[in-house]
Amino acid sequence: MPNEKVYDLRLKMVKKLVENGYIMSKHVEHAFLTIEREKFVNLAPEHAYKDVPLPIGYGQTSSAPHMVAIYLEQLELQSGLKILEIGTGSGYHLAVTACALDYLSGGEIHSIEINPFLLERAKRILSSYNFKTKISIHLGDGFYGLKEEAPFDRIYVTAALVEKPKMLYEQLKIGGILLYPYGIQGEPQLLIKAKRTQEGIKENEVIECSFVQLRRAGEEFRPS
């Protein structure tokens, strides 16, 4: 498909996200217009730019664009932030976040992926971009965070947790924000926004959501 037709599909998706109130900031809009989702989900553009979650193999999915937009807006991005992403997956969410940070003059993102096959694929695709934002991808169980790089200004989790992430709270700076889906896969879940203050953690429910469960150490990875 010619590049201009691909861009038209991307533009149409972004316009709808803006009209529906999911994208509210210029840096978020810029990121969605810039990053080619079809690269990350390995689908033809006419399928890649549907606002739906898409399978990426190993029982994992790439979140629907409107959900990625909700994350970026709720993270209250600013220049120079140090961010931790739990669950690299396809790398699309990471790419959009990095691009949005670039628009704001850059920052630093660490991402953890437990599946070595997804990690290598995401690294390969992300290497085709020249982000100002420093990106580091780590292999490991994201539930425990990344203590050696803590504290972080922002932490976000791209798969559902069934218990409160106390270790992630501890790795958040005072004034920092943590976003994570909470609940069991297949049952009602909530996107939780937590802020760490001098008095402790304050949580708010953002929206109902539906995510696959966060994969943990010891689980077998089978292509699907």
Q: Give residue-wise pLDDT tens across range 10-47.
A: 999 999 999 999 999 999 999 999 999 999 998 899 99
Tell me what the mean pLDDT of segment 157-174 comes to.
96
Tell me what the mean pLDDT of segment 98-113 comes to.
98
> What are the tens digits of pLDDT across the range 63-75?
999 999 999 999 9
**Dist. CA 61–CA 153, nearest whole Å:** 26
Residues marked active site are found at: 63
Tell me what the mean pLDDT of segment 198-208 comes to.
95
CATH number (3.40.50.11780, 3.40.50.300, 3.30.9.100, 3.40.50.150) of 3-209 reads 3.40.50.150
Supply the pLDDT for residue 224. 54
The CA–CA distances, whole Å, from 141 to 123, 138, 171 equal 17, 9, 15
What are the sequence ranges of the domains in the chain? 3-209
Supply the pLDDT for residue 2. 63
- 45 closest CA partner among 30, 58, 35: 35
* Banded model confidence at residue 218, pLDDT cuts 50, 70, 90: low
**Dist. CA 26–CA 33, nearest whole Å:** 11
Supply the pLDDT for residue 223. 62
Q: How far is CA 169 from the centre of its chain?
A: 18
The mean-pLDDT minimum among 3-17, 80-94, 135-149, 209-223 falls in 209-223
